């Protein structure tokens, strides 16, 4: 399975939740498959999906899922200690770990080599860290939501991309409708 296969499988779960989606192909794939006002698409700023998601989770009570990638977590490694030390039990960080920088041509990341993001997250003090196979992602994600415990999921999958159009929505529109969905 590749990232878009995982997204397709978890769409029914994501639909009812606030979702912060990582820059590049993940946002474009989610936008193409199931655009929702509860989705915040990152159009720039690689690495900050987890930080934005944690901020939303700390500011209100609804469940927030940040969809991140291994490359983006490597870009913003400082996020893991911050998450560990500021527990928001309505926050789930879903790292889709395909061991590559998918949006830029599948260059390998260190997470696909010697570095285990699961081990790093645990070492940073995160308490509920679950590594799973791609095909188990939906089950693990639903269990994390039901547990009402802050959870870091590292879903391992193969690298590879599908053809998707870029997002042409205005950023202020994306932000405004997301904020309305938060308040709804």
Partner 1 sequence: MTISEKIVSDLVENDVSFVTTVPCKQLAGVIDAVDAEQSIYHIPSNKEDEGMGLCAGAYMGGKRPAIIMQNTAIGVTINTLVTLTQYYRMPLPMIISYRGELREPVACQAEMAVHTKALLNQLNIPTYHFHEESDVEEFDAILKYTFMCNKPVAILTDASFWGGYGE
- Which of 88, 157, 84 is closest to 127 using CA atoms? 84
Toward partner 1, which CB reaches closer, 78 or 108?
78
Answer for the pair 140, 129: CB distance below 8 angstroms, yes or no: no
Toward partner 1, which CB reaches closer, 35 or 135?
35
Query: Using CA atoms, how far apart are residues 3 and 160, in angstroms rounded to an integer?
Result: 7
User: What minimum distance in Å lies between the beta carbon of 20 and partner 1?
Assistant: 7
User: What minimum distance in Å lies between the beta carbon of 182 and partner 1?
Assistant: 6
Answer for the pair 4, 29: CB distance below 8 angstroms, yes or no: yes
Toward partner 1, which CB reaches closer, 121 or 134?
121
* CA quadruple 89, 126, 67, 7: dihedral sign: negative
User: What minimum distance in Å lies between the beta carbon of 69 and partner 1?
Assistant: 15
User: What minimum distance in Å lies between the beta carbon of 39 and partner 1?
Assistant: 12
Helical ranges in 60-169 per DSSP H: 70-75, 79-85, 117-123, 137-147
Toward partner 1, which CB reaches closer, 101 or 132?
101
Contact residues toward partner 1 (CB under 8 A) are 20, 40, 42-45, 47-48, 50-60, 76, 78-79, 81-82, 86, 171-172, 174-175, 178-179, 182-183
User: What minimum distance in Å lies between the beta carbon of 4 and partner 1?
Assistant: 24
In this structure, what token pair is assigned to residue 153? 């999921």
Toward partner 1, which CB reaches closer, 86 or 158?
86
Helical ranges in 60-153 per DSSP H: 70-75, 79-85, 117-123, 137-147
Toward partner 1, which CB reaches closer, 83 or 157?
83
Count of CB atoms situated within 10 Å of the CB of 114? 6
User: What minimum distance in Å lies between the beta carbon of 90 and partner 1?
Assistant: 10
């Amino acid at each position: 399975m590749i990232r878009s296969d995982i997204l397709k499988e978890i769409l029914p779960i994501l639909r009812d939740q606030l979702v912060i989606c990582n820059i590049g192909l993940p946002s474009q794939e989610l936008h193409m498959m199931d655009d929702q006002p509860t989705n915040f698409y990152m159009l720039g700023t690689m690495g900050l999906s987890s930080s934005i998601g944690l901020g939303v989770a700390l500011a209100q009570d609804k469940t927030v899922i940040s969809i991140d990638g291994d490359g983006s977590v490597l870009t913003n490694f400082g996020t893991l200690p911050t998450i560990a030390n500021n527990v928001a039990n309505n926050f789930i960080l879903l790292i889709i770990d395909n061991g590559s920088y998918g949006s830029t041509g599948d260059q390998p990341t260190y997470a696909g080599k010697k570095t285990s993001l699961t081990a790093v997250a645990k070492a940073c003090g995160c308490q509920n860290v679950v590594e799973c196979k791609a095909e188990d992602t939906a089950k693990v994600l639903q269990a994390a939501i039901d547990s009402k415990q802050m959870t870091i999921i590292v879903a391992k999958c193969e690298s590879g991309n599908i053809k998707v159009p870029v997002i042409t929505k205005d950023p202020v529109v994306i932000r405004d409708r997301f904020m309305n969905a938060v308040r709804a």
